[in-house]
């Protein structure tokens, strides 16, 4: 198949105009993970850039779009613009096995590789037919390329028995934005460019911590430590679980203790550790607790400033003032099947 040629700035191919250079994506792009002066390769967000257009039979087009492709550390990045006019055609399927073809955006630079000319291309890399086919590898360095789409070409596929354009296509576009910009979510598997970068996950934001994406505000599990003033309790066959989420310095916590037949209740006032240390705000931060034995009691959690644990208070069975919860208050704990549910919102350091 003949290659298709987008325009890339600074390679000075025949036909590059000043208008092309002005239209190419320039600016402070998000840094890449490979080197201090590299940027993150990818497609610039917009109205479905490089999206599939007019798929029919074994051919399709790609919508116009812009991208930035990072070469080697000192090779620099190539801004590319594609105007999206010409069709691409897939080869017919194998007689015996399926294969996966990849649509890639590639830059050729004669200063770094043996190429016929300096140019950018959109190409179809033909995969190898197999019982369990995999996408073909991208060209090895110093070649510069990014994957846009993977297309499963089923055995026997041709213009008459064509691609299923709903089921056999996987979007592999990786995205890039300027420093501080929020990335769209993609399925390319490419990570963020720097710790603290954000991406849209469709319902909220993910944050890149340097090794992986974590949803901002997602609930996380943690196991509180249950202590008492004189002798610590023992959980035994009981259950103690909790979850929390942090948004800025605000932390929401919820959890429960379900006692078992071998649970020990210790001696003295009870405390449970927080997932994150509370701030040094004046006064006490307060949450709610429900205790269930023979009867139910509604009490409070209180956390002192700049501490990492909460103390449990409850009124007694006759509606008395709040008192510290212990192994014998507001009822004598034992026998299993008793519950302590808690929730609170507090300010972390």
3-state SS track over the chain: CCCECCEECCCCCCCCCHHHHHHCCCCCECECCCCCCCECCEECCCCCCCCEEEEECCEEEECCEEEEEECCCCCCEEEEEECCCCCEECCCCCCCCEEEEEEEEEEECCCCCCCCCCEEEEEEECCCCECCCCCCCCCCCCCEEEEEEEEEECCCCCCCCCCCCCCCEEECCCECCECCCCEECCCCCCCCCCCCCEEECCCCEEEECCCCEEECCCCEEECCCEEECCECCECCCCEEEEEEEEECCEEEEEEEEECCCCCECCECCEEEECCCCECCCCCCEEEEEEEECCCEEEEEEEECCCCCEEEEEECCCCCCCCEECECCECCCCCCCCCEEEEEEEEEEC
Q: What is the pLDDT of residue 21?
A: 62
Number of domains composing the chain:
2
pLDDT tens, per residue, the chain with 349 residues: 556 777 666 666 566 665 666 556 666 678 876 667 788 899 999 899 999 999 999 999 999 999 999 888 778 888 899 998 789 999 999 999 999 999 999 999 888 888 888 889 999 999 999 999 999 999 998 899 999 999 999 999 998 888 999 999 999 999 999 888 899 988 788 788 788 889 999 899 999 988 899 999 899 999 999 999 999 999 999 999 999 999 889 999 999 999 999 999 999 999 999 999 999 887 788 999 999 988 999 999 999 888 899 999 999 776 678 999 999 999 999 999 999 999 999 999 9
Domain boundary among 149, 179, 209: 179
The verdict on residue 327 lying in a domain is: yes
- pLDDT for 118 equals 85
**Is residue 342 included in any domain, yes or no?**
yes
Q: What is the DSSP letter of 136?
A: P
260 and 120 belong to one structural domain? no
Give the CATH number of the domain where residue 273 resides: 2.60.90
Same domain, 224 and 159: no
Q: Is residue 270 a contact partner of residue 288, using CB atoms and an 8 Å limit?
A: no
User: What is the DSSP code (8-state) at residue 329?
Assistant: B
Task: Give the residue among 100, 111, 171 at the shortest CA–CA distance from 143.
Answer: 111
In terms of residue numbers, what domain contains 280? 220-347
State whether 127 and 48 are in the same domain: yes
- Give domain status of residue 200, yes or no: no
Do 246 and 164 fall within a single domain? no
Using CB atoms within 10 Å of the CB of residue 310, give its burial: 0 to 12 exposed, 13 to 18 middle, 19+ buried: buried
Same domain, 140 and 225: no
Stated pTM of the model: 0.69
Q: Does some domain include residue 154? A: yes
Residue 347 CA to residue 349 CA, distance in Å, equals 7
Nearest to 207 by CA among 190, 191, 186: 191
CA distance 338 to 235: 12
310 found inside a domain: yes
What is the length of the chain? 349
For residues 236 and 167, state if they share a domain: no
* Same domain for 275 and 161: no
Q: Where are the alpha helices (DSSP H) in the chain?
A: 18-23
The answer to whether residue 184 is domain-embedded is no
**Residues 67, 155 share a domain:** yes
In a domain, 1, yes or no: no
């Amino acid at each position: 198949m003949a290659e298709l040629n987008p325009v890339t700035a600074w390679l000075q191919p025949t036909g590059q105009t000043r208008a092309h250079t002005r239209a190419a994506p320039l600016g402070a792009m998000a840094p890449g993970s490979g080197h201090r002066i590299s940027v993150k390769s990818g497609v610039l967000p917009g109205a479905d850039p490089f999206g599939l257009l007019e798929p029919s039979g074994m051919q399709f087009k790609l919508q116009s779009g812009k991208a930035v492709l990072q070469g080697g550390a000192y090779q620099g990045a190539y801004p590319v613009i594609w105007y999206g006019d010409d069709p691409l055609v897939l080869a017919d399927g194998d007689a015996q096995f399926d294969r996966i073809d990849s649509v890639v955006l590639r830059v050729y630079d004669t200063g770094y590789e043996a190429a016929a000319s300096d140019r950018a291309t959109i190409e179809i890399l033909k995969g190898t037919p197999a019982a369990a086919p995999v996408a073909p590898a991208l060209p090895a360095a110093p070649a510069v390329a990014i994957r846009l789409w993977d297309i499963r070409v089923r055995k026997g596929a041709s213009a008459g028995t064509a691609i299923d354009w709903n089921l056999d296509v996987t979007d592999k576009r990786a995205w890039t934005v300027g420093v501080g910009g929020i990335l769209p979510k993609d399925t390319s598997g490419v990570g963020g460019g720097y710790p603290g970068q954000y991406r849209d996950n469709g319902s909220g934001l993910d944050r890149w911590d340097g090794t992986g994406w974590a949803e901002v505000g997602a609930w996380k599990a943690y196991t509180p430590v249950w202590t008492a003033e004189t002798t610590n309790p023992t959980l035994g066959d009981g259950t103690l679980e909790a979850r929390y989420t942090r948004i800025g310095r605000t932390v929401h916590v919820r959890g429960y203790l379900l006692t078992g037949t071998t649970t020990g209740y210790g001696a003295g006032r009870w405390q449970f550790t927080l997932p994150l240390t509370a701030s040094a705000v004046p006064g006490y931060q307060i949450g709610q607790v429900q205790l269930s034995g023979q009867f139910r009691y509604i009490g409070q959690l209180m956390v002192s400033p700049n501490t990492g644990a909460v103390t449990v208070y409850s009124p007694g069975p006759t509606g008395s003032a709040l008192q510290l919860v212990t192994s014998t208050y507001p009822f004598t704990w034992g026998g299993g099947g008793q519950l302590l549910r808690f929730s609170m919102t507090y300010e972390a350091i």
